[in-house]
Amino acid sequence: MYVNRVKVPDVAIYPSKRMLPTVAFEFGYAEPYEQLREDVKLLLEGTGGGISKVIVIKLEPLVEGETEIQAGFVEMWCLEGGKAINEGARMVIFFNIVRRVYFANLKA
């Protein structure tokens, strides 16, 4: 299924003398979540467990009128029984816009 396919992780941790990373990171902004999931499958299933974990960080794209990222999430994936699985609950990221506004008002 993954023969002759190449996927370079966005960021990876390579212990010395290893051909493959032990942990890979995939970041998504404009990239749809479904594409990130396909990338995770390719990295985990395509290496047959050579990569042990993939951490997905997805940021929600800005909409018109926004100037700062509002939210996102983090997921950790691993290989189990030859299939890529999500290891646990999705951790939602909320950026603290209120604090930034508060501190910005202190300078005024």
Neighbours of 85 (CB within 10 A): 12
Q: Spell out the domain ranges in the chain.
A: 11-107
Q: What is the pLDDT of residues 57-68, one digit of tens each?
A: 998 888 898 887
User: Is the per-residue pLDDT at 101 higher than 60?
Assistant: no
> How much is the pLDDT for 96?
59
Task: Give the C-alpha separation, 56 to 61, whole Å.
Answer: 15
> How much is the pLDDT for 12?
94
Best-predicted range by mean pLDDT (2-11, 45-54, 62-71, 84-93): 45-54
Predicted structure pTM score: 0.80
Environment class of residue 56 by beta-carbon count within 10 Å: exposed (0-12), middle (13-18) or buried (19+)? buried
Q: State how beta strands 71-80 and 91-94 pair.
A: antiparallel
